[in-house]
């Protein structure tokens, strides 16, 4: 019995004597595996954080990452007041019918500025209407007023390109523009004197500032909202877009090109289409150009 106990004891001693050796061996193995445990906590951390964020931000964050920053410019119609060559009033009446039939949603550049994702989430359903050459100094052309009436009756808003010119704006024009602005229309700058900014820039960048800044000031002073959109006279763009973004502009509206834009840019150039032989044909051409 004593012998067995001694045997067990010595066996135990042998094992315990071995254990330090056995312990030494796993250490490097443990050391080698240390980077794994440290990375695991960070993984579990993010996994636990995510569910706490998701409930409050369900709608926006789940959409945002999937949206392409490159967007199609909504098809944009460029209109002017009726003249002897072209009755834009009659054209607009027909065009509104087509927009209604196609269930297009008419928006402004400012609408997109306020809600930038609509050009992705509602791509192909948006449409923009612009009317240029509205002078702050003179009474609004009666037929242009009629054009705005037609759009309002349809429940549409539009973008008005205003030339500011004078220090003495015409009160009725101001009143009408203010009323339209308050009902969601966008008042855009069409410069102070309808100057070709591309030409001005070639002479001096300062001339571009001198032509645009006063118009922004005058619109803000009379209408109450500082424009974020510039409608380029004769569609002529400047080379240095920074000149325009420095003035707080966001949209620069020309004629050629600009059928897509990068929503990450701080200033966006977009193009437009003028009326063709009739409303239906123009709509067809715009469908091809803007791809909607
Ligand atoms: Zn113009």
Q: What is the DSSP string of 228-277?
A: -EEEPGGG---S-HHHHHTTT--EEE-SSS-SEEETTSSSEEE--B---S
For residue 194, report the distance from its CA to the centre of ligand 1, in Å. 6
Q: Which residues surround ligand 1, an ion (CB under 5 A)?
A: 132-133, 233
For residue 168, report the distance from its CA to the centre of ligand 1, in Å. 20
Tell me if 146 is assigned to some domain. Answer: yes
For residue 108, report the distance from its CA to the centre of ligand 1, in Å. 18
For residue 233, report the distance from its CA to the centre of ligand 1, in Å. 5
For residue 191, report the distance from its CA to the centre of ligand 1, in Å. 9
Structure tokens at 196: 């070709």
* 258 within 8 A of 271, measured Cβ to Cβ: yes
* 191 within 8 A of 197, measured Cβ to Cβ: yes
* 228 within 8 A of 189, measured Cβ to Cβ: no
Tell me if 66 is assigned to some domain. Answer: no
Which residue, 12, 33, 60, sits at the end of a domain?
Answer: 60
* 176 within 8 A of 144, measured Cβ to Cβ: no
pLDDT digit of tens for each residue in the chain (292 aa)?
Answer: 454 554 444 444 444 444 444 444 444 444 444 444 444 444 444 444 444 454 555 555 555 567 999 999 999 999 999 999 999 999 999 999 999 999 999 999 999 999 999 999 999 999 999 999 999 999 999 999 999 999 999 999 999 999 999 999 999 999 999 999 999 999 999 999 999 999 999 999 999 999 999 999 999 999 999 999 999 999 999 999 999 999 999 999 999 999 999 999 999 999 999 999 999 999 999 999 999 9
Task: Verify that 77 and 53 share a domain, yes or no.
Answer: no
Segments forming the whole domain that contains residue 150:
71-290
Tell me if 65 is assigned to some domain. Answer: no
- Domain containing residue 219: CATH number: 3.20.20.370
DSSP H stretches of helix in 108-159: 109-114, 118-121, 142-153
User: Can you tell me the distance from the alpha carbon of 119 to that of 125, in angstroms, rounded to the nearest whole number?
Assistant: 9
Task: Verify that 78 and 222 share a domain, yes or no.
Answer: yes
Task: Verify that 83 and 46 share a domain, yes or no.
Answer: no
For residue 132, report the distance from its CA to the centre of ligand 1, in Å. 5
Task: Verify that 118 and 207 share a domain, yes or no.
Answer: yes
Structure tokens at 271: 């193009």
For residue 208, report the distance from its CA to the centre of ligand 1, in Å. 16
Task: Verify that 88 and 144 share a domain, yes or no.
Answer: yes
For residue 190, report the distance from its CA to the centre of ligand 1, in Å. 7
Strands (E) across the chain are located at 70-72, 76-79, 105-107, 126-135, 159-163, 186-189, 229-231, 251-253, 260-262, 268-270
Structural domains counted in the chain: 2
């Amino acid at each position: 019995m004593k012998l067995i106990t001694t045997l067990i004891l010595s066996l135990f001693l042998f094992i315990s004597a071995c254990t330090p050796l056995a312990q030494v061996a796993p250490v490097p193995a443990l050391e080698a595996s240390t980077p794994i445990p440290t990375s695991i906590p960070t993984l579990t951390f993010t996994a636990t954080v995510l569910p706490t964020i998701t409930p409050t931000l369900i709608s926006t964050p789940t959409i945002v990452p999937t949206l392409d920053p490159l967007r199609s410019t909504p098809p944009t119609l460029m209109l002017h007041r009726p003249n002897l060559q072209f009755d834009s009033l009659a054209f607009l009446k027909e065009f509104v019918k087509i927009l209604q039939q196609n269930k297009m949603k008419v928006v402004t550049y400012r609408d997109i500025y306020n809600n930038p994702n609509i050009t992705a989430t509602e791509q192909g359903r948006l449409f923009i209407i612009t009317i240029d050459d509205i002078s702050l100094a003179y009474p609004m052309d009666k037929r242009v007023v009629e054009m705005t009436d037609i759009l309002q009756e349809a429940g549409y808003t539009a973008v008005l390109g205003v030339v500011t010119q004078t220090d003495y704006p015409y009160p009725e024009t101001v009143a009408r523009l203010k009323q339209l602005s308050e009902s969601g229309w966008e008042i855009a700058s069409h410069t102070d004197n309808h100057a070709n900014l591309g030409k001005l820039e070639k002479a001096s960048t300062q001339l571009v500032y001198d032509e645009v800044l006063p118009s922004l000031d005058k619109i803000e002073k009379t209408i109450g909202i500082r424009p974020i959109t510039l409608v380029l006279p004769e569609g002529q763009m400047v080379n240095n877009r920074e000149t325009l973004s420095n003035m707080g502009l966001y949209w620069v509206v020309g004629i050629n090109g600009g059928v897509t834009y990068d929503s990450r840019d701080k200033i966006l150039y977009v193009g437009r289409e003028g009326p063709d032989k009739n409303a239906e044909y123009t709509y067809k051409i715009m469908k091809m150009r803007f791809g909607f």
